[in-house]
Amino acid sequence: MQRPSLSHALQQVAHAYRGHMAQTIREADLPLPGTHVRALKAVCYMEGCTAQRIAQRMRRDKAQITRVLNDLLESGLILKACNPADKRSQLLHATPAGEAMMLRIQTLEQQTLARMTRDLTQEEVEHFIRIAWHMTQNLEGDLPPDN
């Protein structure tokens, strides 16, 4: 049997991870779709987080990100504050409820990652991380990793 190509292998691992995370989030009764989870992660981890920076990081239209952020605002998971560096934008921060939601998401991610890597050694996992990071750098330059 022919081994899968690098392209196919990357697509399969990304698809399997996203699919399992989506299923795990549904089973945990978390009320957030994937885009909302990624946006909340950006708010929680990105210094000086703005809607524009999230749109750039996620490679999404700013209007789409604004709709997602409005949902997170209405859910009480994030807050907006004046941006002293740029009066045209607002800084985004997680509320205590948003931080609690992020902790739940992190727990679900850890469960998924444990399942995904259960037959791998720590050295194999670290090697995969180094290779994936190097490949990302080859394509994107010096962007920090997306949490």
pLDDT in tens, the chain (147 residues): 567 799 999 999 999 999 999 899 989 998 888 899 999 999 999 998 999 999 998 989 999 999 999 999 999 999 999 988 888 889 999 999 999 999 999 999 999 999 999 999 999 999 999 999 999 889 887 555 544
Q: What is the pTM of this model?
A: 0.80
Rounded CA gap, 60 and 39, in Å?
11
Q: How many C-beta neighbours within 10 Å does residue 128 have?
A: 13
Do 42 and 58 form a contact (C-beta atoms < 8 A)? yes
